[in-house]
Structure 1
Amino acid sequence: MDFRRIEVIFLIVFFSLDIFLFLSFRNSQQLVSSSSTNTSTVSEMRKRNISFGTLDSKDGNAYYLGSQPDNSLAQNVDKLRNQEVQYDEEDHRLTSTLNSTIAVTNDNRKKIMDKFLEKETNVLFGRDYKYAPQLSTTSQMVYVGTGDLGDVYDKTDQLVFSIENGRVDSYTQTHVKSLIILHERQSVKSEKDVITNLYANSEIPNNSKISYANMAYTKLLVAKNSTIYIPVWFVTIKNKDSKVSSVKKVNAFTGNIIKNSTNGDSSYNAQ
């Protein structure tokens, strides 16, 4: 499809969302903070045995991004070797079972699988992904789409290796060939603002540790067969007693806390 035509399609989609996004922004509870308030909150968090590193107080910028479904995986599937592959045309998802499993440990698995990604006969577009320990578990290694505009923490652009009995035996993959900027960049909340706001809203319990705090793009919604992405802070909180971790999501534009959808989808309704 001609790039100019794609651009026009996204402009139409985005303008059709303008009223929706504007009303969502107006109706949302804005994050109100000051340097003095944040400083006192940080001190209170430490007194309650909440561990975290240095919190970045610098505001950044991000975009509304868009993409359209593409068949880049299906078009290149014949390049893969030593694996059984299936492709779901509806979800644009590739599923692979390796002919020979790969032995890994918690200590070496990133090094081994990073090397595995370098060969296109192993994984298509492997260099378009980076390892995301924040999203990974002992049984799954999650790689996320990455590029000049940032990382994508979303099932539409993700590579997930399955591990069983210490061996990688299969993977699933989705791929976004290109992202288009739909609107001029806007300011986003800082890491410090997001963390202190989560605490103020009782989202961070006492005796816990903030393991990760990363901002990445995730799906906002799908309109006219086009996917719209928005920047979101992903904050991982680990309970020091139970060792159980949970991930909190915060709209990076507004600072609003995003509640998980009931259907388990990675997308969410604007708040």
Structure 2
Amino acid sequence: MDWNRIKTIFILTFLVLDIYLMYEFFKLNDASQYEYSTEVPLEKRLKADEIEYVELPKNFIKDMYLSAEPIDFSNEVTESVEKTKLKGQKVQVNSSTVLNSVLDKPYELSEKYDKAEINSFVKNNVLYGDQYRYWKKEDNIITYYQQFKDKTFYQNSSAELTIYLNDENNIVSYVQTMLTNIEELSEEEKIIQPLKALETLYEKGSLKPKSKITKVELGYFNFVGEASTAQVLIPAWRFVINDKEDLYVHAFEGQIIELPTEEKTIVE
């Protein structure tokens, strides 16, 4: 047996194999580089679809989970009546966490709808009224949501103020819920930036061509817990589309927070 010949054949075989593998490696590498270089930046894709957006927030880098629980209004009402905060109101507390109030006489508003007037009523006639933020008006119903460190508890039925108007558009009653014992659950973590959240909405088809993003802000969504129990709240990006629709993105994990269609709609 010619061992030298066999050895030469093996060497040539492995050499050819090495050359082939190197060829395949460089071909794949070139392809990936080409794919990377030809990927169109998000800004250009949005422009091509005529999607506009306001200046995005830049001052939010980190955030954290929160825990909270519904307030027991029973003691709050007794103390506040004594301090005349609820003077001129017939107040009833249901299940300890829902406050119903009917005004002795309607709170008059000017003919021209003015949010400042509503804000003044809330601040001066509602328990912890300065912790609530105007949300929307639909027919004769005005909705506010509670805030924490200037961030809103989005679509949270345990942190909601619902104001009712009569046919003359004057305030006649309201229903209030509120979260208390709000605590920061974890160390601060990095959140995704609004441009990345916007990209998620775009790639998932939530942003239609010619849409205009009219507002972008950071707030909190109830992640764990029923309305009547303790809650875990997550930071979430809110995108207002054409001043008519709300879209939300989980600020830690980046997925879209799905809502029923009627809860996405904004009515002024």
Q: TM-score, normalised by structure 1?
A: 0.69
Residue 143 (structure 1) shift: 2.2
Cα distance in 2 for partners of 1:38, 1:126 equals 50
Partner of residue 212 from structure 2, selected from 176, 184, 209: 209
Which residue is equivalent to 1:9? none
Deviation of residue 222 (structure 1)?
Answer: 1.8
In the other structure, the counterpart of 1:232 is 236
- Match 1:112 to one of 90, 114, 117: 117
Distance in 2 of aligned mates of 1:206 and 1:45: 8
Tell me the equivalent position of 1:42.
43
1:259 alignment counterpart: 258
- Answer 1 or 2: which has greater helix percent: 2
Q: Which residue of 2 aligns with 1:267?
A: none
Q: 1:181 aligns with which of 179, 184, 189?
A: 184
Q: Which whole-Å CA distance do the structure 2 matches of 1:51 and 1:103 have between them?
A: 40
Moved more, 79-88 or 96-105: 96-105
Report if aligned partners of 2:105, 2:172 keep a CA contact under 8 Å in 1: yes
Taking a change above 3 Å as real, the CA distance of residues 102 and 39 of structure 1, as seen in their structure-2 partners, is farther
CA distance in structure 1 between the aligned counterparts of 2:185 and 2:87, rounded to whole angstroms: 38
Question: In the TM superposition, what is the alpha-carbon distance from 1:178 to its structure 2 partner?
Answer: 2.7
The equivalent of 2:157 in structure 1 is 155
Which of 91, 100, 108 does residue 105 from structure 2 map onto?
Answer: 100
Q: Deviations over 1:78-121 (max 9, x none)?
A: 4212223222216x1112222322344696532112222332xx
- Residue 184 of structure 1 deviates from its aligned partner by 0.8
| Distance of 1:155 and 1:117 partners within structure 2 | 18
Q: Supply the distance in 2 between the matched residues of 1:38 and 1:53 (Cα, whole angstroms).
A: 24
> What is the number of equivalent residue pairs in this alignment?
218
**How far did 1:136 drift?**
4.4
User: Aligned-pair distance for 1:182?
Assistant: 1.2
Q: Please give the root-mean-square deviation of Cα atoms over the aligned residues, in Å.
A: 3.2
Offset from partner CA, 1:184-231 (integer Å, 9 cap, x none): 111111121111220111101122222322221121112894211111
Whichever of the two has the greater Rg, that structure is 2
5+ unaligned residues in a row in structure 2: which ranges? 1-36, 264-268
Shift of 1:249: 1.7
CA gap of 1:130–1:190, structure 2 versus 1, over 3 A, is: same
2:175 aligned to which of 172, 175, 179: 172
**Equivalence map 1:65-80=2 (5 Å):** 65-71=66-72, 73-78=73-78, 79=81, 80=86
Query: Gaps (5+ residues) in structure 1?
Result: 1-35, 265-271
* Cross-structure match for 2:20: none
The one-letter amino acid paired with 2:245 is S
Secondary structure of the residue that 2:179 maps to in structure 1? coil
CA distance in 1, matches of 2:111, 2:64: 35
Deviation at 1:63, TM superposition (A): 1.0
TM-aligned CA deviation for residue 159 of structure 1? 1.5
Q: SS in structure 2 opposite 1:44?
A: helix
Which residue is 1:14 aligned to? none
